[in-house]
Amino acid sequence: MKEYSTKDVRNVVLLGATKSGKTTLAEAMLYEGKVITRMGSIEDKNTLSDSNELEKINQRSIYATPLYTEYGGCKINFIDAPGSDDFIGGAYSAFRVCESGVLVINAQQGVEVGTDSFIRRAEAQKLPMIVAVNQLDADKADWDNVQASMKETFEGKMVNIQFPTATGAAFDGFVDVLTMKYYRFKDDKGTREDLEIPAEYADQAEEYREALIEKAAEFDDALMEKYFEEGTLSEEEIHSGLNKGIVSGEVYPVFCVCGKKDIGVKRLLEFIKDVAPVPAVKEDGPASLFIYKNDVEQHLGEVSYFKVMSGTLTTGMDLEDPVSGNKDRFSAIYAVAGSKKEPVTNLHAGDFGCAVKLKNSKSSTTLSLPGSGINYDRIQYPAPKYRCAIKAKVQQDDQKLGDALKKIASQDPTVIVEYSKELRQTILSGNGEQHINIVKWRLNNEFGLEVELFAPKVPYRETITKVASAQYRHKKQSGGAGQFGEVHLLVCPAEGDLNTKFMINGKETQLNVKTQDITELEWGGKLEFYNCVVGGAIDLGFMPAILKGIKERMVEGPLTGSYARDIRVFVYDGKMHPVDSKEIAFIIAGRNAFREAFRNAGPKILEPIYNVEVMTPSEYQGSVMSDLQNRRGILGDMGADKGFAILRARVPLAELYRYSTTLSSLTAGSATFTMEFADYQPVPGDVQTKLLADYAAQEKEED
């Protein structure tokens, strides 16, 4: 394979909604670069991109696949990112290492919710994009509809480089207003005729070209001046102007393609070579790379996919993880085209490659020349939207399950596994139910583990709404040294200014604070502890023991065993014994006095509330709103954006289990959503009654 310098490398991510045809387009790009001699197909399960067994079974992209093609003296690395929101992590990895994107739009659908989501994410990452309208040969392809949806979405930023002369079965070519040629394709193998533009399309071509030149001149004063003087620009000048517009995110050039028949793919590759941004990396200096993906592949073992960020990586080179200091020797490096890997001796800054069996192989890891101190920020993935509890069907497999989940999470950072001490469950989180089902399939088929997935418990919180006091005496005598401790305390909500005047035993009492301890609790909220004991009724040395007993009780709240929070405790009296008073006695007395006072202080169960934002086609708006309300959601402000309805609501976490699946069903898979923790709020009375009854039944069953 030829060695490519940075200026001859382009890195592109293929983005688009499910079924937009990215993988088929990728095959055509590989074919045009002679990386493959025959195009595979999704139906035949023989594409270089979707080569994983799971992808063949599902006939869709699940993992982001790095590929490359060689075209016109340029190496174009590209990543085929999954279209489903459930597997969005692959796109985020690609955003980190690619300088531009090709947004693939299905000519039968126009801009879909999935398409719009990728546009938003790419714009947030400041990723320049080229648009490829694909599947123009499909029966339901509608160029006018695509144009209308793009104009609404891109709001004046789109510019047509090409337009088709026909769609559907008759689609065999297009007019290119950059080259001012008519390209007609004679077969399904990309055989192209370069012709003069037919007379019937001449006016439309001139109109499109004028708009193209104006857009190209818009971002360069010198080009604008020449355009005003001469009324036109050369093809190279248009390239220059478009490059600036694309990089700034102000231009989305539009191409016509049919990946399946290899129509328009050459021109797309030519444009990427001529106009797409060159990697912004340091070609000179110490070698460093960034691992954006790792995987385990049959016959190879662990494979680390990386981008060279500076210098030149050569075989035999030693690099280190600047965080751990661990070193890795690159005994072999490869150029990657999906399942095809070609050994190379050098990779320059900006280029993609892979290596096998690195010790420092996790995603988001930097490897750099020892002593250089080079380290790159980790990839920031979106928060998960689906959570469930998981356990092995056979208890003896618990350790194996933990090890397997750890391996899966290392390969897919959007799979999050944590054991919740609070809930006493292993919680598995991901981007959707399909995502989690893939994890289950891997556990079954790759690791030989049978597992159960079920609704996780909700991390409720407990607090109080009133003032209450209680006292508890712990007295134990069993032949030897005894235990004695008596604690009188008062509790109230930890809110507002500190008040120290209360009615205690029917008498108004002013408490005088001697010492205080305010603890910010690790599970949220706080505990305020005030020592108001006078006259030495309890020695100051026993106060930490009383506080310890209260904290122990707050870990397992008196109502449902959930964490308690936001409580003020005033210890105002008690008794000691000169011989039998010990730390353990005051721990027990403090714990039990707190429990009794808590139960009499208007206790409330709090539930986690999430801010949910749904983007849906307007025809499904009513169904989505109704479903949110059925989930005890409180609807907030609503809006519209580029043809889609935006719904916002506050929804209890308890009602969001499998929401992604329901939303997909309600909207024929065309809606997407985000969810973010907001705060804790009291549960309704009927919900609290049920939770208390469930907890009582559980305790009885455990007894």
Query: What is each CA distance from 701 to 265, 409, 414, 687, in whole angstroms?
Result: 66, 35, 37, 21
Mean pLDDT by 10 residues, the chain (703 residues): 95 94 94 91 79 75 91 96 90 96 96 87 93 96 95 92 96 96 90 95 96 94 91 92 95 96 96 96 94 85 94 96 93 92 96 93 93 94 94 95 94 94 94 94 95 96 97 83 92 95 93 96 95 93 96 93 96 92 95 96 97 93 96 94 90 95 90 93 95 86 66
Separation between Cα atoms, residue 501 and residue 523, nearest integer Å: 30
Q: What is the pTM of this model?
A: 0.86
* Tokens coding 200: 């019937």
Looking at residue 642, its pLDDT comes to 76
Distance (Å, whole) CA 361 – CA 292? 10
Domains of the chain: 6-275 (3.40.50.300), 288-368 (2.40.30.10), 386-456 (3.30.70.870), 462-602 (3.30.230.10), 608-686 (3.30.70.240)
What is the tens place of the pLDDT at every residue in 15-71? Answer: 999 889 999 999 999 999 999 988 888 788 888 777 677 777 777 788 899 999 999
Task: Classify residue 377 by burial, with Cβ atoms within 10 Å: 0-12, 13-18, 19+.
Answer: exposed
SS3 354: strand
Cα–Cα dist 20/64, whole Å: 15
State residue 684's pLDDT score.
95
Q: Mind giving me the DSSP string for 604-619?
A: EEEEEEEEEEEEEEGG
In this predicted structure, what is the pLDDT of residue 13? 97
Sheet holding 483-493, edge to edge: 468-476, 483-493, 567-575, 526-531, 515-520
Pairing relationship of beta strands 74-80 and 9-15 according to DSSP bridges: parallel
Q: Is 323 helix (H, G, I), strand (E, B) or coil?
A: coil
- Please tell me the predicted confidence (pLDDT) of residue 42: 79
pLDDT value of position 641: 82
Q: What is the CA radius of gyration of the chain?
A: 32
Nearest partner of 77 among 331, 347, 360, judged by Cα: 347
For residue 459, give the nearest of 595, 376, 564 by alpha carbon. Answer: 564
pLDDT at 671: 87
The sign of the dihedral angle between the CA atoms of 493, 497, 500, 503 is negative
Residue type, 448: G
The strand order across the sheet containing 173-176 reads 162-164, 173-176, 181-185, 192-195
pLDDT of residue 28: 94
Query: So what's the pLDDT on residue 480?
Result: 67
